[in-house]
Amino acid sequence: MQDKIINLALELTRTTKTKIADLDQIMLRTQILSMNARLEAARAGEVGKSFAIVAQEMGAVAQEVTALSSSLNAAIAENALRIQSAGQDMAVDFRGSRYADLARNAVEIMDRNLYERSCDVRWWATDSAVVDAVANPEPSHAAHASERLGTILRSYTVYLDLWVADHTGRVVANGRPDTYRNAVGMDVSRAEWFRKGMETADGDSFAVCDVARAKALGGAQVATYATAIREGGLAHGQALGVLGIFFDWQPQAQAIVGGVSLSEDERRNSKVMLLDSKHRIIASTDPAAFGQTYPINAEKPWGYGVDGGKIVAYGLTPGYETYGGLGWYGCIESLLEG
């Protein structure tokens, strides 16, 4: 719509300038006729004096019209530039606002997904098989927990693995022992997810770590959620260990940034990203950008700016239900002329 308005305004300007040019030609001819009339009146002598006055007035009127035409032409040219500039600003504002909406929507979709992950970890930590694995550390209990976790993983395909660690930080069971053979027996006491999980206040609390590559999971990008496994599976029971769940981040995140509603032209000239609270790229339509820092001037929760021939739009996560979000941003960078 903005482009149509601009084009109509410019077409009106072009048409008006053409008509003024035609008027200038008529006035030029009128001035020539006036000059010729004055010459003929001069030849006629006394008889032509009255006609000379009329011819002179015709010339004066023609000059006034020509001056008015010139002034109008300059005013139209100036206003045409203002209309074009205003139209371009309008188009940029429309694109920037739309991209900011899309960016916020992208991170909101991810938050809805991660809200479910926060529910999963708190629910599964109360599973009797998981509780028994750390409350009664026997091989049969660990095997049962591993079997139970495997059953969960067959239904919840968005996870790489689920690990149960006792209170010392030793992994006693995992859901995919055939894939991650070295998990059981691993010391994770210094791992952020374990430490934060042990520190959770009650069964309604959970811990989440920044998206990162997990060496123990083949270098895959993971979003790790954790919570304490409590005595009897009770919300205020003593913390006996930690359940850590490893969300298979890359394919899920790529589906979200790749699914943003852009036209083919916009997609060719744009990059869609998810940024963490430190403005680190954790997902992008350019997968090679993972881990890089992307500077955005986010003075408001939602907005856009123009920098170096690019529109940079962003939206801060609004959170979802009881999940407050992690201070992440959706971000779209697009060429201004794209």
pLDDT over 90 (residue 330): yes
The whole-number average pLDDT for the span 289-306 is 88
Q: What three-state secondary structure class fits 239?
A: strand
Give how many domains the chain has, as a whole number. Answer: 2
pLDDT over 80 (residue 85): no
Report the C-alpha gap between 203 and 230 in whole angstroms. 7
pLDDT at 205: 95
User: Which of 66-80, 95-109, 118-132 tops mean pLDDT?
Assistant: 118-132
Domain assignment of residue 165, yes or no = yes
Of residues 318 and 16, the one with the higher pLDDT is: 318
Domain C-terminal end among 252, 284, 315: 252
Do 245 and 168 share a structural domain? yes
Task: Tell me if 312 sits within 8 A of 102, measured CB to CB.
Answer: no
Domain assignment of residue 50, yes or no = yes
Q: Token pair of 67, please?
A: 């001056």
Virtual torsion, Cα 165, 167, 169, 170, nearest 10 deg: -60
- pLDDT bracket for residue 121 (50, 70, 90): very high
Domain C-terminal end among 66, 91, 116: 91
The whole-number average pLDDT for the span 301-327 is 86
Report the C-alpha gap between 331 and 312 in whole angstroms. 7
Domain assignment of residue 6, yes or no = yes
Average confidence score pLDDT of the chain? 85
48 secondary structure, DSSP code: G
pLDDT at 320: 76
Q: What is the CATH number of the domain that holds 144?
A: 3.30.450.20
Do 7 and 81 share a structural domain? yes
| Total-model pTM | 0.75
pLDDT over 90 (residue 130): yes
pLDDT over 90 (residue 204): yes
Q: What is the CATH number of the domain that holds 19?
A: 1.10.287.950
Domain assignment of residue 305, yes or no = no
Q: Which of 84-93, 144-153, 219-228, 301-310 has the lowest mean pLDDT?
A: 84-93
Amino acid in position 244: G
pLDDT digits (tens, 9 = 90+) for 239-291: 999 999 999 999 999 999 999 999 898 899 999 999 998 999 999 999 899 99
Which residues form the domain of 209?
A: 125-252
